[in-house]
Amino acid sequence: MFFRSFNWITDILDILIVAFAVYGIFKLVRDSRAEQLLKGFILLGLAYGAAHLLGLTAIKYLLQVLFDNVLIILALIFQPELRRALEQVGHSGFSRLRVLGSGETESREYIETWKKAIAAVCTAAESLQRERMGALIVIERNTRLGEIARSGTELNADTTAELLGNIFFNKAPLHDGATILRDGKVYAAGCILPLSEDVTISRSLGTRHRAAVGMSENSDALCVVVSEETGTISLAKGGELTRDFTAETLRSTLENEIIWNNVRTEETKDNSLWARVRGWFVK
């Protein structure tokens, strides 16, 4: 009788959805500032229990007011993490629509444009590395960065290594800010980025690196950084900073992230279009 009361299909589906939700929350909280804040809330919960047992009316009342508004407080405190999680959900479903909805000619143009832009970024990064000149290049993807671009100077120019070198020349007026690439072109330069508040970032890293991580925390952008002090080339993605790239490894990573990751899934479904397109451009 007990087992007959279960609708096995819907109940299993319900359990799986809850399990994935809990796992997602765990990934969101783990290894971030949210972990420390969550520990603080647990301690407050223990304090509330102690106040209830000991009859500390004033403390119990204050904590009760706090917990009555806990959802609003959590939304405010964890706003960057929640925003990142919602963006990831949206990107997982819609990141490929733009390319996959295009015709074959448009797809080839998209790939060719980005391959040229990525090659220019890598060449410029290598040159700036040799000259010990700092650089911060933000590659826009699905999250539009119009507000960030408006903090700098809009250019809308073709992406070339020479242009990027001129922008980040240490006596140029725009070299201190970030340069944003949109649709394979230099969209804006001299832009101001939000700094990451992640306390785990090494103190040896400067403002450029913290800005790159902050931008990648608040969007799905890829941020290329060239250190002025060490010449190290780094890449920030999803709030994580990876260092010690060469021009070749940077090119391969950027092409995978911007171009090929958008088509691999579709290739398994449709080899008639994307296998041919990729075959034209992959060496």
CATH number for region 98-281: 3.40.1700.10
pLDDT above 90 (res 268): no
> What's the sign of the alpha-carbon dihedral 44, 45, 46, 52?
positive
* The predicted structure's pLDDT at residue 9: 77
Q: Are 224 and 232 in contact (CB under 8 A)?
A: no
Q: Is the pLDDT of residue 53 over 90?
A: no
Euclidean distance between CA atoms 151 and 142, whole angstroms: 19
Domain ranges in the chain? 3-93, 98-281
Predicted pLDDT of residue 3: 52
What would the pLDDT profile of 102-155 be if each residue is shown by its tens digit?
A: 556 667 888 899 999 999 999 999 999 999 999 999 999 988 888 899 999 999
Tens of pLDDT, residues 19-46 = 877 776 666 555 455 566 667 777 878 8
Tokens of 195: 């700094």
Q: What pLDDT is attached to residue 272?
A: 47
Contact 170, 189 (CB under 8 A): no
pLDDT of 84 higher than 90: no
Under the banding of pLDDT at 50, 70 and 90, the label for residue 192 is very high
pLDDT at 128: 95
Judge whether residue 69 has pLDDT over 70: yes
Q: What is the DSSP string of 10-24?
A: HHHHHHHHHHHHHHH
Going by pLDDT thresholds of 50, 70 and 90, the confidence category of residue 224 is very high
Q: Would you give the distance in Å from CA 165 to the centre of its chain?
A: 25
What is the pLDDT confidence band of residue 81, given thresholds at 50, 70 and 90?
low
Tell me if 85 sits within 8 A of 24, measured CB to CB: yes
How far is Cα 70 from Cα 90, in angstroms, rounded to an integer? 26
CB atoms under 10 Å from CB of 151, counted, come to 15
Contact 111, 259 (CB under 8 A): yes
pLDDT above 80 (res 245): yes
